[in-house]
């Protein structure tokens, strides 16, 4: 039997963002409250509420010892440790010099800060004093002289709460941090479901929902990166929550390394969620005086379903996470050389492909893998990684001259000339490289254990300052000499051998230093993250790069699933989405060009990844029109709100609506996967419009918001893989 869920009452609070009342703390968003207090007897922090707005602590008649075997089992703890009677999974685990792992963190003091300080060495959300307020609660373990600072920042407009934790060793012997979760939250009841994004290479971000049952359930990454397997994101929902109704809590970890998500329903019926760095790859040593800061976890609450939770993440991330100046800008339609030419090219074939691209109206030509390596030229995937000098045989006149010639090409149907972009994989190395000959010690390894290869490549140890310096120099050398407008930063394997567990986190910090230096030095470059597709599609990367390659799978049907899944957390503006040739080289499926293009233009960075020479004549004729359409929808995709109207996993007719922030423009995407015989077409009911306003649907007439949302639109579709893109304007 399921509990009957009563809909939360929607109340907007005008309460101050942070209210401290004696021992009790409240963080208030527009429609969210988060509350906890200091226990007057123990000095521990006790959670009181995370959900819709409240003005005092919920009325609880349960004594802290609710009966049973443990005195702690009914307590909702704000920063749970292990070793003092709470037998659930802990948020913190510190190993002291003498070997014990008990902690005794008690409230000491707190600080309220207007705005939000940046996290040292880590990507983080940011905002002005009027956007965000921060509460830091200082905890102190007097037995070990270890301090824990819990930092909470509330973005009231977005109903978003950000938490991170810092441990400081103020004792006189070294300690080791074995586990440090960014987020730990104890919910009072037990009837939740969890929503997560699992996947693989070419199948990223598959939505998965399951009941939270007794005991531990979770997921994470041991790969060294966030990875394709599981996105660093968790949502808890009530059993009746849908896209547009019910409560949803979202937790998104701003981190690119190995992570761990644990959800535990205790036998007493409480539910704990823990999100943070992966404890298997931490064991972080702290000498006296040193600190370790966790990455931050962004929590969002909505009482209006999973879709509303997603839109809150999207707006927050566009306004307060992504730093690139391109975040609000339309992105140039690009053509990437990879699927058209793979490794088989030289200066003249590349220039010819760029000329072709210009004729179709492409604005940015991207030279992918295979342009570098002198002594060990990169002509296949067995050599050259690490040697970031242009291949003089393929490009006897250098990259600069190629890029300048491409910059002179005029893009058809516009006044623009072509920009030039380039592929890099700077964290990787082939044994067949000059770099490996000079610096075999720079490669990640564990003593004498074999350095195991994937795709014939090894990983540089980015924890080493000399490796960071090398990467910054190698990329800068090219950017200082060649007019590069875009970089695709790839990363094609996971981390195997590592010298120590803590090296995993040190590597990620090292890469963040590299990203920080390069993106501030070259702010005019559009940086795109990539890791065999979406293997590092996470908020940590998005702090530095405004867009990420969503998947190596460009099959349009699969892409609807992947892009809808990715949009659970990440705004459409951040997704790279291209058209490739058919049959698709991953799935073998053939879909019409128009359908492929319509799916791809739901991503912020639209492009082509094919050789236009070898596609059918009728498709060639269609490309300029599709590019023009992609450019027309792009402003709404980049800056608008996404409403997932119909999900691909539950319908043959998936659909999405993008609405500009001011509500004046919208674009509707409607798809038919399989044609059906003599069966009525569904009514597509729009969402997110103003019921009393009138809207002009291009080519279809003018209707009220109420008619479009309550009545709906019925479209006639034809063959398999049919699609429609409809412009909507408020009149």
Ligand X SMILES: *[C@@H]1O[C@H](CO)[C@@H](O)[C@H](O)[C@H]1NC(C)=O
- Judged by the rule CB under 6 A, the positions of this chain that interact with ligand X are 319, 325, 327-328, 661
The two three-digit tokens of residue 311, written as one number = 């839109």
Query: Are 384 and 396 contacting, i.e. CB atoms less than 8 angstroms apart?
Result: no
Query: Are 484 and 421 contacting, i.e. CB atoms less than 8 angstroms apart?
Result: yes
Question: Among residues 552, 555, 641, 722, which one is catalytic?
Answer: 552
Q: How far is the CB of 324 from ligand X (least distance, A)?
A: 7
Q: How far is the CB of 523 from ligand X (least distance, A)?
A: 11
Please, is 312 exposed, middle or buried when counting C-beta atoms within 10 Å of its C-beta (0-12, 13-18, 19+)?
Answer: buried
- Report the residue number, 35 or 157, with the smaller CB distance to ligand X: 157
Q: How far is the CB of 519 from ligand X (least distance, A)?
A: 13
Question: Among residues 490, 502, 555, 558, which one is catalytic?
Answer: 490
Query: Given the structure tokens 């809909």, which residue do they identify?
Result: 7
The Cα-based distances of 600 to 204, 249, 577, 623, 728 in angstroms read 15, 29, 5, 13, 19
CA atoms within 13 A on the CB side of 473: 8
Query: Are 155 and 133 contacting, i.e. CB atoms less than 8 angstroms apart?
Result: no
Q: How far is the CB of 340 from ligand X (least distance, A)?
A: 33
Q: How far apart are CA 550 and CA 533, in angstroms?
A: 6
Q: How far is the CB of 115 from ligand X (least distance, A)?
A: 15
Active site residue 552: yes
- Report the residue number, 80 or 571, with the smaller CB distance to ligand X: 571
Q: How far is the CB of 32 from ligand X (least distance, A)?
A: 20
- Report the residue number, 325 or 455, with the smaller CB distance to ligand X: 325
- Nearest-CB residue for ligand X: 328
- Report the residue number, 325 or 393, with the smaller CB distance to ligand X: 325
Q: How far apart are CA 130 and CA 16, in angstroms?
A: 11
Q: How far is the CB of 328 from ligand X (least distance, A)?
A: 4
Active site residue 368: no
Kindly report each contact of residues 41-44 with a partner whose C-beta sits within 8 Å and lies 24 or more positions away, as own/partner: 42/106, 43/106, 43/107, 44/75, 44/77, 44/78, 44/105, 44/106, 44/107
Q: How far is the CB of 316 from ligand X (least distance, A)?
A: 10
Please, is 81 exposed, middle or buried when counting C-beta atoms within 10 Å of its C-beta (0-12, 13-18, 19+)?
Answer: buried
- Report the residue number, 42 or 319, with the smaller CB distance to ligand X: 319
CA 573 to chain centre: 12
Q: How far is the CB of 287 from ligand X (least distance, A)?
A: 39
- Report the residue number, 328 or 401, with the smaller CB distance to ligand X: 328
CA 622 to chain centre: 33
The two three-digit tokens of residue 211, written as one number = 């009941």
Query: Are 88 and 218 contacting, i.e. CB atoms less than 8 angstroms apart?
Result: no
- Report the residue number, 223 or 330, with the smaller CB distance to ligand X: 330
Cα-flanking dihedrals φ and ψ of residue 582, to 5°?
-120, 155
- Widest CA span in the chain: 80
Q: How far apart are CA 65 and CA 67, in angstroms?
A: 5
DSSP string computed for 84-149: SS--S--SEEEE-TTS------EEEEEEEEES-PPPTTS------TTT-EEEEEEEEETTTTEEEE
Q: How far apart are CA 78 and CA 183, in angstroms?
A: 9
Q: How far apart are CA 672 and CA 644, in angstroms?
A: 15
- Report the residue number, 283 or 328, with the smaller CB distance to ligand X: 328
H-helix or E-strand spanning residue 578: strand 575-580
- Report the residue number, 21 or 130, with the smaller CB distance to ligand X: 130
Q: Which residues are catalytic?
A: 490, 552
């Amino acid at each position: 039997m399921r509990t009957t869920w009563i809909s939360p009452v929607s109340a907007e609070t005008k309460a101050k963002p942070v209210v401290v009342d004696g021992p009790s703390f409240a963080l208030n968003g527009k429609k969210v409250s988060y509350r906890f207090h200091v226990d007057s007897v123990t000095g521990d922090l006790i959670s009181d509420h995370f959900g819709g707005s409240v003005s005092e602590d919920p009325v609880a008649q349960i004594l802290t010892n609710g009966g049973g075997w443990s005195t702690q089992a009914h307590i909702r703890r704000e920063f749970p440790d292990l070793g003092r009677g709470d037998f659930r999974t802990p948020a913190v685990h510190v190993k002291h010099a003498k070997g014990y792992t008990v902690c005794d963190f008690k409230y000491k003091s707190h600080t309220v800060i207007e705005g939000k300080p940046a996290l040292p060495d880590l990507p983080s959300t940011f905002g002005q004093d009027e956007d965000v307020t921060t509460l830091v609660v200082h905890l102190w373990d007097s037995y070990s002289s270890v301090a824990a600072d819990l930092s909470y920042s509330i973005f009231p407009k977005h109903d978003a709460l950000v938490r991170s934790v810092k441990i400081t060793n103020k004792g006189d012997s070294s300690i080791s941090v074995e586990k440090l979760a960014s987020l730990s939250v104890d919910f009072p009841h037990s009837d939740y479901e969890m929503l997560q994004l699992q996947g693989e290479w070419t199948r990223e971000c598959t939505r998965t929902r399951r009941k939270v049952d007794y005991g531990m359930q979770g997921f994470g990454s041991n790969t060294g990166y966030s990875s394709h397997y599981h996105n660093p994101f968790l949502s808890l929902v009530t059993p009746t929550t849908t896209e547009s109704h019910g409560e949803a809590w979202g937790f998104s970890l701003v981190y690119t390394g190995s992570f761990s998500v644990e959800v535990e329903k205790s036998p007493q019926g409480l539910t704990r969620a823990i999100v943070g760095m992966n404890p298997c790859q931490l064991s972080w040593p702290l000498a006296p005086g040193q600190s370790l800061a966790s990455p931050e976890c962004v929590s969002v609450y909505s009482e209006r379903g999973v879709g509303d939770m997603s839109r809150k993440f999207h707006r927050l991330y566009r306004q307060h996470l992504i730093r690139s100046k391109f975040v609000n800008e339309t992105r140039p339609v690009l053509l990437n050389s990879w699927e058209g030419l793979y490794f088989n090219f030289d200066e003249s074939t590349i220039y010819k492909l760029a000329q072709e691209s210009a004729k179709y109206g492409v604005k940015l030509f991207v030279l992918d893998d295979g342009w570098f390596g002198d002594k060990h030229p990169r002509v296949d995937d067995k050599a050259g990684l690490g040697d970031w000098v242009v291949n003089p045989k393929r490009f006897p006149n250098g990259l600069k001259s190629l890029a300048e010639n491409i910059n002179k090409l005029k893009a058809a149907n516009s006044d623009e000339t072509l920009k030039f972009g380039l592929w890099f994989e700077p964290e990787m190395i082939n044994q067949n490289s000059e770099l490996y000959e000079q610096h075999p010690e720079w490669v990640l390894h564990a003593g004498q254990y074999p350095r195991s290869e994937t795709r014939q490549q090894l990983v540089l140890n980015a924890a080493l300052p000399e490796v960071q310096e090398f990467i910054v120099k190698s990329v800068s050398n090219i950017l200082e000499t060649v007019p590069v407008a875009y970089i695709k930063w790839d990363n094609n394997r996971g981390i195997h051998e590592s010298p120590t567990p803590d090296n995993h986190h040190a590597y990620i910090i090292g890469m963040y230093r590299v990203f920080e230096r390069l993106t501030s030095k070259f702010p005019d470059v559009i940086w795109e993250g990539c890791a065999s597709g979406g293997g590092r599609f996470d908020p940590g990367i998005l702090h530095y790069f405004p867009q990420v390659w969503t998947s190596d799978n460009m099959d349009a049907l699969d892409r609807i699933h992947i892009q809808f899944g990715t949009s659970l957390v990440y705004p459409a503006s951040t997704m790279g989405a291209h058209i490739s040739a058919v049959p698709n080289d991953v799935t073998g499926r053939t879909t019409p060009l128009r359908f492929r293009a319509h799916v791809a233009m739901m991503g912020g960075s639209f492009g082509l990844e094919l050789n236009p020479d070898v596609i059918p004549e009728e498709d060639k004729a269609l490309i300029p029109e599709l590019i023009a359409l992609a450019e027309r929808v792009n402003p709404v995709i980049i800056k608008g709100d996404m409403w997932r109207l119909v999900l691909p996993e539950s319908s043959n007719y998936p659909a999405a609506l993008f609405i500009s922030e001011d509500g004046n423009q919208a674009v509707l995407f409607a798809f038919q996967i399989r044609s059906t015989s003599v069966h009525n077409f569904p009514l597509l009911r729009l969402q997110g419009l103003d019921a009393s306003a009138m809207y002009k649907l291009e080519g279809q007439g003018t209707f009220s918001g109420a008619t479009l949302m309550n009545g709906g639109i019925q479209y006639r579709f034809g063959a398999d893989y049919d699609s429609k893109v409809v412009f909507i304007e408020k009149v």
